Chains A and B, each alone.
Chain A
Amino acid sequence: MAKEFPVIGTKENPIAPRLRMVEVRKSFGATHALRNVSFEVAPAEVHALIGENGAGKSTLMKILSGAYVPDGGRIELDGQPFVPKDPLHARRSGIAMIYQELSLAPHLSVEENILLGEEPHHFGWLNRSRRRALAREALAELRQENIPLDAPVIRLSIAEQQVVEIARALIGSPKVLIMDEPTSSLTQADTENLFAAIDRLRRRGVSIVYISHFLEECQRIANRYAVLRDGESVGAGDMAAARLNDIIRLMVGREIKDIYPRTPRSPGKPVLEIRDLHGMAKPVSTYLTLRAGEILGIAGLVGAGRTETLRVCFGLDRIKSGRVLVYSRESTRSSPARRLAEGIGLTSENRKEEGLLLNRTLADNLLITRYGRVSKLGLVSSRRQRQCARDWMERLDVRAQSPNQAVSELSGGNQQKVALGRLLHHDARIFLLDEPTRGIDVGSKVQIYKLLDELAAQGKAIIFVSSYLPELLGVCDTIGVMCRGVLSAVRPTAEWNEHTLMAAAIGQSDIGAG
């Protein structure tokens, strides 16, 4: 494994790195979060930082932002030793961060958010016209002038909120911009816009550290990459010369074959039929038929109405008109309790806000919809509950210390397995999965794909909503595309490719059909 750094610039005339970390170490108690991390970023470069969840990326970020003090090693900014004291100091020194979870104040306006904490003022008096000019300038830099400056952030789409977050990072002209999974909640079109913005920043001389699970993305926009595994730098190189498989092998420490396993399936009878379904806002006139043993993918942009379709089906949101048939029986008016009784389960795209009871135990989260199996006359047996939870943890390879651990302490991948495990324990036969692989590590993703394949082979029916086109194409039997609240005709996966899916998602299906 090539551990030495590839030379930036030419061999004879190397460019001094903008940011350099040398053998940085950090442990918490006996846990080594970072063992030995070295990497460097040149000016005007996009540097991809790649690694599974738990590899140490977020610890590294926290060290750079001054939240943690490293135990050893050194950091240099423009050749000078740099010891970040706190986030404000880091930012004033030219290091800006964009976190995976948006950190905007939802009720404040776009303008107020962009300048939050950096408001221009005369002796404490806010200078509103200057603030407006600065906010407008930051959005113009990103070519997103159409975002209204006075709108409260809560009214914007997630993609627009992301833009506001980036605009905020641009205030004060950062030297290094660190982005943690910036596209995890963006659709392809918004991702393109983001990439264009990143490219403009790079040309202006900003160094960008780009953290992402989406290797294809890293390959597209990054100049170089560094791979972390178990808190160690395990490889680095020029992106152009790298092969995806090599990078994946570095990340997981082994070769992953068959990312998308597929046992032969034969879809059977319709289990869920939706006829001309209208929600209060979305979906609009949506039809679909889900069969036993089928994985049906729904592609589309964020905000197209995919989540709403699942929620309306599951009885979480109100139906305006249309019909839902479960096992060929009329079942339009419903509630989550009734849907669960019918054997339908849903996992939310929003694990933390909706999907899980974060401060409750793993066992409670797994069993909550069906305590019946471990209780008698309403009395829950703690022992049987623990045993039952332990069985599921083993079966799903959930890495945790005990069934009594709070779910908030698990990594994203393990949390998602718990959310799916809840449906398995419930013995659901119809799965409505909203972005089940968002923000989780490659290893967990592969395990989830395998699980879905097994479920379909057992005759379970799955609706799989995703913004990540390769996984839809890899996992699903049939795919429909949602655009502005309407679901296109659902067609066999073989008739789609990434290009046609994207074209349909942005409402240009006539080009894509061929």
Chain B
Amino acid sequence: MGDLSRLNRRNAGRLLNAVGPVFGLALVILLFSLSPAVRAHFFTGINCKIILLQTVIVAIGALGMTLIIISGGIDLSVGSVVALASVVGATSLVNGYSPAMAIALTIMVGVIIGLINGMIIASFRMMPFIVTLGMMGVARGTAKWLAGNQTVNAPKSSINNLMDMLDPLHFFPLPLGVWMTIALAVIMAVVVQQTIFGRYLFAIGSNEATARLCGIRVGPMKVAIYALAGLFFGLSGLMQMSRLAVGDPTVAIGLELDIIAAVVIGGASLNGGTGSISGSIIGALIMAVLRSGSSQMNWPNFVQEIIIGIVIILAVGLDKFRQRKAAF
């Protein structure tokens, strides 16, 4: 009897963990649809399409950030990396490289910076917070230096198709970038949940000493985690450049905080050892819906900022509450 009721409660807790972010998203949409003026426009295909498009950059970044946060780390350099990647992409187009080459270079920027972050964190056992805080400045500075302190106007190329609305009147066809995000999210969800790499990720975040004792090569794993995450940050940079059609060294300031917020709203803990790709993606969607809804309510920008701040605190607070329930 006792076992049964505890089991049910635990299952209920686990279920809550899984559907919590979905529930949050539904709640946000419901609240906005209370206003008749917003409702008329909110559920149109075109509005949904815009929201998805606006989610792409944060969502792709969140794929990488989820890996890092599950492993117990953090990366503050994302915004700067996105800016640097967009500058590198635009500059290479200006210099006559093919779009394919520009794409490769853009993504490479993310991977290389991830590798450097990971190697410093792993070999000197330094705090990821400090290392990536430093890298935030280094990457931003490098972007400004490369761009000569101004935006780099890239010639039109096939890269711009990634974030193109295509048919601006209907939901389908969806932009290429949205399909890519969905595909990458599915792949990463499998990697995190079903692969040995994923298990090691959780093991390191749960207890690094134990992971080491169990023969996991923690150092190389960390380098791999930050480099793989860097790949996604580079891809975010590519989407950024595709959307604005310029390489802007001052773009995406504070983007890392949006991404971290998405991951945390999605149920990850900054202590490491928990988190999920699906949660993070829904977290990113929640933020995009909040932005879209607020602007349709004609709320000024500062109201949006206040609301998003409150949502982050609420989400994490609810998560704590949920865990306490599940623990009993």
Contacts and interface: CB of A to CB of B under 8 A. Distances in A.
B202 A422 contact: no
B7 interface: yes
B196 A356 contact: no
A29 B5 contact: yes
B217 A337 contact: yes
B214 A353 contact: no
Interface string A367-387: 011010001001110100000
A401 interface: yes
Given A30-B1, A368-B203, A357 B210 contact: yes
Contacts of B199: 364, 368, 371, 380
Interface string B1-24: 111111100100000000000000
A171 interface: no
Given A336-B212, A336-B215, A364-B203, A29 B196 contact: no
Contacts of B195: 375, 378-380
A346 B216 CA distance: 14
Interface in A5-51: 28-32
8 contacts: A32-B2, A336-B213, A357-B210, A368-B203, A368-B214, A369-B215, A375-B195, A380-B198
Given A364-B203, A401-B3, A379 B214 contact: no
Given A316-B212, A346-B213, A357-B210, 18 more contacts: A29-B2, A31-B6, A316-B213, A354-B209, A354-B210, A359-B274, A368-B199, A371-B199, A375-B195, A375-B196, A379-B194, A379-B195, A380-B195, A380-B199, A401-B3, A401-B6, A401-B10, A405-B10
B192 to A, nearest CB: 11
Contacts of B213: 314, 316, 336, 346, 348, 354-355
A360 B197 CA distance: 15
Interface string A248-264: 00000000000000000
A382 B217 CA distance: 23
B35 interface: no
Contacts of A95: none
B207 interface: yes
Interface string A271-282: 000000000000
A30 B3 CA distance: 8
B141 interface: no
A440 interface: no
A401 B206 CA distance: 21
B210 A356 contact: yes
A355 B215 contact: no
A267 B73 CA distance: 47
Interface in B174-231: 190, 194-199, 202-203, 206-207, 209-217
B6 A380 contact: no
Contacts of A356: 207, 210
B99 interface: no
Contact of B273 (A336, A360, A380): A360
A422 to B, nearest CB: 7
Contacts of A422: 214
Interface residues of A, number: 36
A30 B196 contact: no
A401 B7 contact: yes
- Which range contains the number of B residues in contact with the other chain? 20 to 34
Interface string A331-356: 00001110111000010100001111
A331 B93 CA distance: 54
Contacts of B190: 379
Nearest to B3: A401
B194 A31 contact: no
A337 B6 CA distance: 38
Contacts of A359: 206, 273-274
A407 B274 CA distance: 15
A358 B207 CA distance: 8
Interface in A396-424: 401-402, 405, 422
A226 to B, nearest CB: 25
A401 B10 CA distance: 11
Nearest to B209: A354
A365 to B, nearest CB: 9
B202 A382 contact: no
Contacts of B5: 29-30
A372 to B, nearest CB: 8
Contact of A31 (B2, B202, B214): B2
B1 A336 contact: no
| In the complex, the 4 A-B pairs of residues with the closest C-beta atoms, listed nearest first | A30-B2, A31-B2, A340-B215, A337-B215
Contacts of A336: 212-215
Given A335-B217, A337-B215, A355 B210 contact: yes
Contacts of A353: 207, 209
A336 B207 CA distance: 15
Contacts of B6: 29, 31, 401
Contacts of B4: 30
Contacts of B216: 337, 368
Contact of B194 (A340, A358, A360, A382): A382
Contacts of A360: 202-203, 206, 273
A316 to B, nearest CB: 7
Contacts of A378: 195-197
A357 B207 contact: yes
Contacts of B211: 357
A358 B3 CA distance: 21
A358 B203 CA distance: 10
A335 B215 CA distance: 8
B277 to A, nearest CB: 16
Nearest to A375: B196
Contacts of A355: 210, 213
A141 B209 CA distance: 38
Point out which of B214, B216, B217 has the most chain A C-beta atoms below 10 A from its C-beta: B214
B324 to A, nearest CB: 14
Nearest to A408: B327
B32 to A, nearest CB: 36
Contacts of B1: 30
A335 B217 CA distance: 9
Contacts of A341: 215
Nearest to A30: B2
